[in-house]
Structure 1
Amino acid sequence: MDIQPFLIGGEWVQGTGSAFDSTNPANGKLNKRVAGASAADVDQAVRNAHRAQRDPKWRNTLPHERARLLHRVADLIVERGDLLANVQMRENGKLFSECRTQAAAAAGAFRYFAGIVETMVSEVAPSRGPHVANVIYEPFGVVAAITPWNSPLTLEAQKVAAAIAAGNAVVLKPSEFTPGPALELGRIFLDAGFPPGILNVVTGLGGETGLALVQHPDVRMISFTGGTATGRAIGRIAAERLVPVALELGGKSPHIVFADADLDAAVDGVVSGIFTSSGQSCIAGSRLFVEREIYDDFLARVVERTRALKVGLPDVAGSQIAPLSSFVHRERVESYVKSAREDGGTILIGGKRPDAPELQAGAFYEPTIIAGLTNAAKACRDEIFGPVLCVLPFDGEDDLVEQANGTTFGLGCGIWTESYKKAWRVARAIESGTVWINTYKELSVAVPFGGFKDSGVGREKGYYGIRVYQEPKTILWGMK
């Protein structure tokens, strides 16, 4: 069987690390075997990136010239959108329609940062003496970008577009579950005319390829999206090496419904907020808090709406709930549902694999709603990262805020109320990087994204999303 190579310095190489299989979670079939990068391969990739970034042909590229190349990448992503969507769908099981949307968003990220790099300015600080002080922003050099399996098309685009717009070279390490989109992005970079080595893609296992990458002495900045435990491990390595990190980690987002909300809209927001992407989203609204006076009625409506969702193959029209990303991950989700039962939770719907014959070969799991737990239960405390919604009542704002903040995470939050004053008070009180009011999971590359507490360090996206990949430098001109 042919092995899919990875990209170093503009060349496709087989590498000397541990090869691994890419499996389609919708049917359990082998997609392909993928080459793994050893520590020696990672060293070669970083050295190529370092050399390419320091080459005057790249370092002296003017911002509008970098923007032109980024726009060309966006054009190619659009041209190959269906191909990219198919690659992602086969590897992580997302609905094809969602994959197409994410391909379009990836192109949008490259266009956004192309616009930023062409128009951003340096600064002149107020004078405090006989001098003029310029503040300019320099690239770090080589950036390690490490991405998860749930939304590789968009997450890889956001990191790579910003880091390269900032003038860096990137070594991209995708999840071993979803190597395909990153490899296709590497091919697009070559076709767009980027210098070889500005984007390198190394595939492999986290403990081998990823570890070698974050430990490499020529990697001067690390950007990671993924689980909090891995983020902590990377943070420890980065602290020892004194290199900056951007860590976008887990979430256990509270989704809050007050009695005065537009309940029809809130039902839609709650159901899509947890069950879109089969719950495999860091900002999934996985803890539903409902004001007690409407708790029973609203919960019944959410259950009814969930019952109507269609679990199906990701490339079949009408499917709304696709498989989980892998069979191993499904077992993890099942273990959390089991723990909820043991903690006294009541499964109102779901809690099992679907019965349909055509789904038996895939990693499918029914959308699940659990009531009767306290906020201290494991299923309410840990990030399950699956189609599992835990529902809890609350009595008043103080009780709500205490429960909503009663987690180590702080990534997203949704609030439904017709009172703008109440919405403002609660939004300010919740410890969360993003708060949605009377909507949920509306995303934009133009606003900062990140989390409080164990949900991460730093912010990506938005105007200052490019600054996370640059270092400020002050130049003082004596005028006396």
Structure 2
Amino acid sequence: MSRTPPDEALIAGEWRRGAGAPNVTVDPATGAPLATVHAVSVEEVAEAARAAASAAADPRWRALLPHQRARLLVRIAELIDAEAEQLAALQTADTGKALTETRALVASAAGTFRYTAAALETAEEALTPARGAYVTMSVYEPIGVVGAINPWNSPIASDAQKLAPALAGGNAVLLKPAEWTPLVSLALGRLVTRALDELALPRALLAVLPGPGRIVGDALVRDSRVGKVTFTGGTSTGRTLAHAAAEKLMPLSLELGGKSPTIVRADADVEQALAGVMFGVFSSSGQSCIAGSRLFVARELYEDFVGELVRRTQKLRVGPGTDPATQVAPLVHHRHRDAVAGYVDLARSEGARVLCGGAVPDGPQYADGAYYLPTVLDGLANTARTCQEEIFGPVLVALPFDDEDDLVAQANDSVYGLACGIWTRDHRAAWRLARRIDAGTVWINTYKQFSISTPFGGMKDSGLGREKGRDGIRAHQRQKALYWGTAESPLPWAT
């Protein structure tokens, strides 16, 4: 891979500069420009969709058996592994994330392609129980063209979670990376193109189409050749896409926002809970849909626990993602940093106490970057906007609870239902709470741990559908029923 940041789009199997407006990507740690990436135009989205539909129907791809498609996924994983350090460095430069995290994300992407290849090779179709003189079976076929729209917070891992099952299902994919962070998606596109070339498969099976969502994403979801869209991002954008998909009667999967509760019962292992709560909200600088941003602590433990949490939070090391000592890296963009700061100002106006953080760090090393101190707030009711709206930054709101019913009522008093963390030594209480909390994922005595084999998604305003797991491939296919007649007379009234 070239050390020069990629700046061309992949349109209809060809790498070229998009015809749309230029966008200068910026290193969040320094404010320095990284690359100028031109957006694709609406016409180029249509061109890519036409080419993708043709590639999806090409016998070189359409006729491949599952184990042959799996070979492509394995090869992509091998190429990711071979370029792992360069991909991690590029993602750190583009998103500001710590290198330790971006290395893990790159490894996760490779693992996703490998897992999906294995699931594809072992996927079975069903011979269903017949109710007459016929044999019945259920088979799966490609949708054709899948649109994949991803956020800026974890590009390469999110890209893999959409590309791998869509390709495994026999589809072509139009990938739209986030406008702020397109570079690692473009670099991944280069690796996929290389794998396609090596296996003599159509290049137009993947397009990488940078640009603003209001133009590129809108054109993608409305194109008649796109048969499904999978989106990760904000809830308001998800609703807009859902309306457009409904006009086409097109399936859509949405992984949206969260305001996840993390719960510390009085019987919790305090050391374990402190470490887990901090990691759950401050890793990734809080820029995670599953961040444990609402902390509920048993009232009898509240004062001591929150006091120690604040002391430890104040010691977290804030710095650039390239520094191995960094624990809280810069936010993705100065505009996003300002939005996070605006929420803390809102919290103050709502009556919150800022127990630590709540400001941009002092010092010349922070002057040009999009830094914000890890922040702990309390003194708010769960109904406050700061407790209800997704901040997507290193901001934690602490609240006490009195008993289990009070806890469940507060935790579920949210439009979101994405994730939850529970810290307790009582396995019966953990089971009870896990079943009562409205969340698609519940962690017990751990947080932010993932397996590609385990389905992921949300409830309520946190989304529709599930990603990952063996069924992730089937979510990118159409199911068809076949009936094989075995009687001499094919119809009841035939003679």
* TM interval, short-chain normalised: over 0.9
Matched, 1:294 2:301: yes
SS of equivalent to 2:289: coil
Q: 1:140 aligns with which of 139, 143, 150?
A: 143
CA contact (8 A) 2:7 2:186 kept: no
Of residues 17-26 and 166-175 in structure 1, the stretch that sits farther from structure 2 once superposed is 17-26
**Cα displacement (A) at 1:2:** 11
CA contact (8 A) 1:138 1:471 kept: yes
AA in 1 matched with 2:112: A
CA distance in 1 between partners of 2:377 and 2:214 (Å): 35
Specify whether residues 364 and 295 from structure 1 end up closer, same or farther in structure 2 by C-alpha distance, changes over 3 A only.
same
Q: Which residue of 2 aligns with 1:44?
A: 47
Q: Which residue of 2 aligns with 1:129?
A: 132
CA distance in 2 between partners of 1:433 and 1:169 (Å): 29
Segments of 5+ residues of structure 1 without an aligned counterpart are: none
CA contact (8 A) 1:367 1:387 kept: yes
Q: Which residue of 1 aligns with 2:75?
A: 72
CA contact (8 A) 2:6 2:186 kept: no
Residues 263-302 of structure 1 aligned to structure 2 (within 5 Å): 263-302=270-309
Q: Which residue of 2 aligns with 1:58?
A: 61
Runs of 4+ off more than 4 Å: none
CA distance in 2 between partners of 1:199 and 1:118 (Å): 21
Matched, 1:83 2:90: no
AA in 1 matched with 2:289: C
Residues 231-270 of structure 1 aligned to structure 2 (within 5 Å): 231-270=238-277
CA contact (8 A) 2:6 2:183 kept: no
**Cα displacement (A) at 1:27:** 0.6
Matched, 1:104 2:111: no
AA in 2 matched with 1:43: A
CA distance in 2 between partners of 1:52 and 1:390 (Å): 49
CA contact (8 A) 1:228 1:455 kept: yes
CA distance in 2 between partners of 1:389 and 1:300 (Å): 13
**Cα displacement (A) at 1:195:** 2.3
CA distance in 1 between partners of 2:18 and 2:315 (Å): 48
AA in 2 matched with 1:451: G
Q: Which residue of 2 aligns with 1:419?
A: 426
**Cα displacement (A) at 1:138:** 1.0
Q: 1:364 aligns with which of 355, 365, 371?
A: 371
Q: Which residue of 1 aligns with 2:491?
A: none
* Per-residue Cα deviation, 1:373-396 (whole angstroms, up to 9, x for no partner): 000111100000000000000011
AA in 2 matched with 1:82: E
CA distance in 1 between partners of 2:132 and 2:425 (Å): 53
Q: Which residue of 2 aligns with 1:22?
A: 25
Q: Which residue of 1 aligns with 2:175?
A: 172
Q: Which residue of 2 aligns with 1:211?
A: 218
CA distance in 2 between partners of 1:258 and 1:2 (Å): 48
* Per-residue Cα deviation, 1:308-364 (whole angstroms, up to 9, x for no partner): 110011101201110000000011101100010000000000000001211111000
SS of equivalent to 1:365: coil
* Per-residue Cα deviation, 1:262-296 (whole angstroms, up to 9, x for no partner): 11100000000000000000000000000001000
CA distance in 2 between partners of 1:451 and 1:467 (Å): 19
CA contact (8 A) 2:7 2:183 kept: no
Residues 317-328 of structure 1 aligned to structure 2 (within 5 Å): 317-328=324-335
Of residues 193-202 and 363-372 in structure 1, the stretch that sits farther from structure 2 once superposed is 193-202
Task: Give the TM-score taking structure 2 as reference length.
Answer: 0.96
Q: Which residue of 1 aligns with 2:205?
A: 198
CA contact (8 A) 1:228 1:454 kept: yes
The two structures, once aligned, show a CA RMSD in angstroms of 1.1
Q: 2:472 aligns with which of 465, 477, 480?
A: 465
CA contact (8 A) 1:3 1:33 kept: no
CA contact (8 A) 1:20 1:33 kept: yes
SS of equivalent to 2:475: helix
CA distance in 1 between partners of 2:135 and 2:320 (Å): 63
Segments of 5+ residues of structure 2 without an aligned counterpart are: 488-495
**Cα displacement (A) at 1:15:** 2.5
CA distance in 2 between partners of 1:318 and 1:423 (Å): 34
**Cα displacement (A) at 1:3:** 8.7
CA contact (8 A) 2:340 2:393 kept: yes
Q: Give aligned pairs, total.
A: 480
AA in 2 matched with 1:85: A
Matched, 1:407 2:410: no
CA distance in 1 between partners of 2:64 and 2:380 (Å): 57
CA contact (8 A) 1:22 1:33 kept: yes
CA distance in 2 between partners of 1:345 and 1:114 (Å): 49
Matched, 1:387 2:394: yes
* Per-residue Cα deviation, 1:13-56 (whole angstroms, up to 9, x for no partner): 22221221111111111111101111100001111110000001
Q: Which residue of 2 aligns with 1:438?
A: 445
CA distance in 1 between partners of 2:473 and 2:437 (Å): 27
CA distance in 1 between partners of 2:247 and 2:392 (Å): 30
SS of equivalent to 1:250: coil
CA distance in 2 between partners of 1:349 and 1:135 (Å): 58
CA distance in 1 between partners of 2:107 and 2:388 (Å): 34
Q: 2:192 aligns with which of 168, 183, 189?
A: 189
Specify whether residues 283 and 479 from structure 1 end up closer, same or farther in structure 2 by C-alpha distance, changes over 3 A only.
same
CA contact (8 A) 1:412 1:433 kept: yes
* Per-residue Cα deviation, 1:380-436 (whole angstroms, up to 9, x for no partner): 000000000000000110000000000000000000111111111111000000000
Specify whether residues 470 and 3 from structure 1 end up closer, same or farther in structure 2 by C-alpha distance, changes over 3 A only.
closer
SS of equivalent to 1:392: strand
SS of equivalent to 2:347: helix
CA distance in 2 between partners of 1:184 and 1:132 (Å): 48
* Per-residue Cα deviation, 1:58-97 (whole angstroms, up to 9, x for no partner): 0001111111111010000011011111111111100011
**Cα displacement (A) at 1:190:** 1.6
CA distance in 2 between partners of 1:429 and 1:97 (Å): 35
CA contact (8 A) 2:356 2:375 kept: yes
AA in 2 matched with 1:144: G
**Cα displacement (A) at 1:186:** 1.1
CA distance in 1 between partners of 2:16 and 2:460 (Å): 40
